[in-house]
Amino acid sequence: MRALKFYCLLIVIICAAIYADYSLIDRVTNYYVESKVDHYDFLKYLWDYKSFFSCDFNPICFITIKGLVTDHINFYILSPTAALINQYLQLDVLQEKIPSLNIINAISIIHAIVGIIAGFFIASSKLRFRRIGVILFELRYLLDDLGKIVSKELYGVEYEYVKYSETQKITLYIDIFCNFISIVWLLVVINSFIIETEFMQLPVFTRYNKKYIQELKNSVILDVIIIAILLSISCIAWNYYTNIFEEKFEVYGTEFIKSSIFLAVAWMWKLFNIHALIQYTMIAIFSNNLIFFMKKAPMPVLFSLLYICFISEIFIRIVFPD
């Protein structure tokens, strides 16, 4: 019965994501999108998007390339929530009034600590504690988004270090390091949890076979290393193509961002960027299917990433060449 409730909830979430994506695509294709290339005020007048609620919390109000390729949970839920928190707490205003506070660095350090605490819960043998760990890890993501929101309000960019002073670059590097620590720690505790779980499922007489236990550990470590490699590939490729898409948008303007091929490619990156893959891992932990996910997901994810990279390369080289 619990499993049925979970899968029903999952279906509802998928349907909500499909509707949200449909609204996003409708927003891009049928309404005005601000561009450095196109400067037609009458287009803005005719096709300006009217949001039902404040654009401060509506992620589809202001269209950006990065927003189009950001995973669903961060884009539709966590980022608007972070914007709401910042509007209530006025962290950017507080930072301007008291520069010595260095709020963005503090947020980065706090979300790293929350990520580490979440890892201890995820390593638990009890499902309810692992679910608490998943909630804490989502809180870590929320704090990370809050840091980006504060940065955007203060500097007008989200960690684009080329526009920063040397001090601001340090802020970027601290955030990257804190994210790295959280993800590495997550992989370490997943490795520990799977080894312990599979060990406890072994027949009693097998648990004393040191050679078999070592083979089990090596097998699990290999699975975790493969996941780590996939996350690295996804991260590097996602950042690489996002930068190229932004450059193409600056050259071609709305012709590029309204292209149906680009929207399809962006949607694929939304599903398979590093943060989306981590979210799938969180779902697997929450639903008590982590071991199944770790064994079955790598090959489909690898082929999907290779396919998306191939399509992205054809798109930028042939459809919108330099």
Q: Which of 50-64, 165-179, 208-222, 263-277 reaches the highest mean pLDDT? A: 263-277
- pLDDT above 80 (res 59): yes
CA distance 14 to 279: 13
- The model's pTM: 0.89
Reported as a single tens digit per residue, the pLDDT across 134-153 is 999 999 999 999 998 888 88
pLDDT at 46: 46
H/E stretch holding 245 reads helix 210-252
Average pLDDT, the chain: 84
**Rounded to 10 degrees, what is the CA torsion of 91, 93, 99, 103?**
10
Residue 65 — pLDDT band, cuts 50, 70, 90? Answer: very high
Find out whether 291 and 197 touch, Cβ atoms under 8 Å.
yes
Query: Which tokens in the block code for residue 52?
Result: 């039902």
H/E stretch holding 305 reads helix 298-314
Residue 167 — pLDDT band, cuts 50, 70, 90? Answer: low
Nearest to 308 by CA among 262, 243, 249: 262
pLDDT at 267: 95
CA distance 143 to 165: 23
Q: Rounded to 5 degrees, what are φ and ψ at 63? A: -85, 130
Residue 162 — pLDDT band, cuts 50, 70, 90? Answer: very low
Reported as a single tens digit per residue, the pLDDT across 219-237 is 788 888 999 999 999 999 9
Residue 310 — pLDDT band, cuts 50, 70, 90? Answer: very high
pLDDT at 42: 46
CA distance 236 to 234: 6
